[in-house]
A and B are shown apart, each in its own frame.
Chain A
């Protein structure tokens, strides 16, 4: 195999010295981390390397020599460099050489011991791959396949060259702590040798975040304790709490805030990214909510909204009344059973009348309620949208009631029809065996059964029509609520920090690498430049999206149609953990 030497671009113009890095034997590649300059004392070098090995768990060693001089190395320098090979034993020993101001390099890798495989040469062919140390250190590699039982320190042959390189550079931060202004015994050249990077704002934020987090965490724990007290577990409040999406959203946000202000440090980069994404999401939410608040409270829009609300509710009720009158006549030319039609129509009309009276009773208080609801927008746009969805659900409660009545009636009829149809054919449903069995009925059972079957069959169109109309209305309301929930979900789960990182610092999120062949001359070793290939936006969203409330439709389209046909009640936007009705 060709020997691959990964060389940092920051050391390309460094003075001559020793190459310090890690040798990965399975991939036959040498990852050079830094260049150690003359003069040095070998004992101190070995001590430093042992310290780094212990602190970072990376097998750092002296890999070879680096020669950056005016012309070809002289005899004495050549012998000196060879003698270094005896002081720091390493198989294979790399010798990289570059003329000052020249573009072409010469690389040799020698093995002192006899090669184990027959036919393998004593000197290997070397390929130079340049990499940007800072970018590789800061970036995170997202390989398409992650082995399920991968440990933090293990890089086996199955992980590949790239993962080994990224892993080595990321874990060798200890080596990069000293810069050239330090007074230590050894002088290293690496990406931070001109001075360690730091930011005053980041340091101040880090110092200040401790007490602030403590204070806010205690406040949040107080709020959680209040919300978990026994009062809320009693029947009316617990029922409301589970049905209203506002409570769900508030709980979700409380969880987020607890995560952000928890005093425990993030253990790995994934947790840190999740915290950052949560912060960004909360900030966006609050900003949009405040914008909505300022828009609502400016120019007395709330007053206009309140004035428009009651007439709109009246209008909806009137339209429903017209619809029922139409159904009580000859809807779409169908002939309905007169008596049943009148009964059902009058029943629903009475409900609408009750509903209108309640709305009129509440009309003086609407403006105050809306004003206070508008204030809730400062908690976030998602809370305001959930409140809107709940208000829509409350205002269309009568449609929901009609749907339930119609569905129950239709469901009863369908069940009755199916069991009587079985009786018609001389069969019966065996509950024990859960299958249809034949059964011999008595004559009077058959007579009554046939009679009831006929009655139910002829009353079916009326009930089915009422059921159809109210189901369509209910589906319309559910669709509107669903759209609002989708928007809330989007704001909740969009990973803004990761998207911003991908936009502004694309090297931080790496999908892989790309190679470019540098200027090449025959007889010289091949030189490649390795650059980071950033993750595409779709994969960023997919990998880093925050867990949402889980308001996804539980049924597939087929199951939904089946439920509609049989008359079972549907709750497509059921929240997680809700009990069945």
Chain B
């Protein structure tokens, strides 16, 4: 079963969220962001080459032009391989774990799998970004040495900076990240997620993070 909706990120760009329901114990959320636009690519290339040509007229050295071409190519390859993310996927498998995959524009995929036994809790954190407050979902991992401590905070959909509006339109991804059946310990966060009402104060103090 597939479903697609569109949202906007912090900077106002369009994001598309696809939800796939495989079975009661397995769901996938796929967030895709717009591809590299030809306009911005042309603009950057033209700027670099104009600057190189300007330097060439000053120095009369043709090495500058070849260096500019080299730099443009390397920069583009580096950007496509390390920076530009096309799609981020969140796969939730009951009693196995949570998998987060980022696929880059050059085809590279980097995957992280977190076993269910390591997940301590799933919370919504507030963060201050420039002049606004954004909310993001993150997974808290257990500390093996200290039973009540947290070893790591892993934000879901890190690169795309998906923000949640106060009406929680993206409520489905929260509902899916439910804790295991009542036989095992219940997360106190569950009640927070199901009955989120922005008019009343949340039962738990959120952590504040400052993003720059």
Contact = CB atoms under 8 A, between A and B. Distances in A.
B115 A162 contact: yes
Interface in A206-259: none
A199 interface: no
Given A4-B95, A4-B96, A158-B144, A513 B113 contact: yes
A514 B111 contact: yes
Contact of B26 (A1, A157, A526): A526
Which of B95, B151, B183 has the most chain A CB atoms inside 10 A of its CB? B95
B183 A526 contact: no
A528 interface: yes
Interface residues of A, number: 27
Nearest to A512: B113
A161 interface: yes
Interface in A488-544: 512-515, 517, 520, 522, 526, 528, 533
A147 interface: yes
A359 to B, nearest CB: 41
Contacts of A515: 91, 93, 96, 99, 113
A151 B95 CA distance: 25
Given A145-B144, A158-B117, A517 B28 contact: yes
Contact of B115 (A161, A520, A533): A161
B22 interface: yes
Interface in A106-160: 117, 120, 125, 127, 129, 145, 147-148, 157-158, 160
Interface in A308-350: none
B95 A1 contact: yes
A434 B99 CA distance: 60
Nearest to A147: B144
Nearest to A525: B23
Interface string A414-426: 0000000000000
Nearest to A127: B25
A522 B113 CA distance: 25
B26 A514 contact: no
A120 to B, nearest CB: 8
A160 B115 contact: yes
Contact of A533 (B111, B144, B151, B181): B111
Nearest to B115: A160
Interface string B128-155: 0000000000000000110000010000
B37 interface: no
A2 interface: yes
A558 B94 CA distance: 52
A8 B26 CA distance: 21
A129 B111 CA distance: 18
Contacts of B115: 160-162
Interface string B83-115: 000000001011110010100000000011101
B180 interface: yes
A1, A147, A157, A158 — most chain B CB neighbours (10 Å): A1
A520 B111 CA distance: 22
B118 interface: yes
B98 to A, nearest CB: 10
A515 B26 CA distance: 12
A7 B112 CA distance: 22
Contacts of B28: 517
Contact of B95 (A2, A147, A522): A2
A514 B115 CA distance: 11
Contacts of A145: 144, 151
A2 B94 contact: yes
A520 B23 contact: yes
A25 to B, nearest CB: 14
Contacts of B183: 1, 117, 120
28 contacts: A1-B183, A2-B94, A2-B95, A4-B96, A28-B95, A125-B25, A127-B93, A129-B96, A148-B145, A160-B118, A161-B96, A161-B115, A162-B115, A513-B113, A514-B99, A514-B101, A514-B113, A515-B91, A515-B96, A515-B99, A517-B26, A517-B91, A520-B22, A526-B22, A526-B25, A526-B26, A528-B93, A533-B111
The 8 closest A-B pairs by CB, nearest first: A514-B111, A1-B95, A160-B115, A526-B23, A2-B95, A145-B144, A520-B22, A160-B117
Given A158-B117, A517-B91, A526-B93, 11 more contacts: A2-B94, A127-B25, A145-B144, A157-B117, A161-B96, A161-B117, A162-B115, A514-B101, A515-B91, A515-B96, A533-B113
